[in-house]
Amino acid sequence: MSYNPPMTAALGARHSALVRVTHWITALAFVALLVTGGEILLSHPRFYWGETGNVLTRPLFQLPLPSSRDMVVTGYGYVLPDQNGWSRYLHFEAAWVAVLTGLVYVISGLMGGHFRRNLLPGRGYPFWTVEDAQSYSVLQRTAYLLVVFVLFPLVVWTGLAMSPAMASVFPAAVAVLGGQQSARTIHFFVSILLAIFLLIHVAMVWIAGFRARVGAMITGRAGAGMERV
């Protein structure tokens, strides 16, 4: 079935102000999380399963990376100075910014019908490409919903589960994941999936027409003659 995009004005509405603001705040927070998360990872690039794990514990797996702490034996030399202190502070701050922004986006999207109108897959939409900048393909819609309602909540949950305070107040939320070290391992893999999504998202924006798509996310409006997606 072919998809016929709705008729719009030469310069039609594309993204609401709230969607644009939350998009860019989340993007900045996520980049900060990736950078600081990578630095935290370098302090101990070994992963475990269960409640505890340390340098004397056999890891579930370890990354082929040097540690920024010379007491963490990885088989690679001590290379980088330990930046674990500032990176943890910035990681937590960026995480709370992302969480609060995400809550605003989700609550507004549910109440205002944004998800139903713009992200819920439906019949008649092409699976891979959309020739109009006014909509998303089924694949894009599914990916966005997966990130918003599965991966993002899971990365927040596993991140909180690594906190001793979380384990003390809500021990069941940690136990169901298998323990704090299990939460850290799951957190790592979910973060990798989110990073892959970000790369694919940027690549699709570039292929579709970088100026047009980014312009729509900045101004909120899309012209009728925008590049094909």
Q: Is 11 helix (H, G, I), strand (E, B) or coil?
A: strand
Residue 228 lies in a domain: no
Other C-beta atoms lying within 10 Å of the C-beta of residue 61: 10
pLDDT digits (tens, 9 = 90+) for 13-55: 567 888 889 999 999 999 999 999 999 998 899 999 999 898 8
* CATH number of the domain within which 166 lies: 1.20.950.20
Q: pLDDT category, 80, cuts 50, 70, 90?
A: low
Task: Select, from the ranges 90-99, 134-143, 205-214, the one with the highest average predicted confidence (pLDDT).
Answer: 90-99
E strand or H helix at 46, and its extent? strand 46-47
Res 84: pLDDT: 77
* Range of the structural domain that residue 98 is part of: 15-223
* Residue partners of 30: CB distance under 8 A and separation at least 6: 94, 98, 194, 198
Res 127: pLDDT: 59
Residue with tokens 């924006």: 205
Res 96: pLDDT: 95
In whole angstroms, what is the distance from residue 175 CA to residue 179 CA?
5
* Residue partners of 6: CB distance under 8 A and separation at least 6: 134, 135
Q: What is the pTM of this model?
A: 0.82
Residue 4 lies in a domain: no
Res 122: pLDDT: 66
pLDDT digits (tens, 9 = 90+) for 107-122: 998 998 888 887 877 6
pLDDT at 139 over 60: yes
Looking at the structure of the chain, the number of domains it has is 1
Nearest to 39 by CA among 94, 84, 80, 69: 84
Residue 229 lies in a domain: no
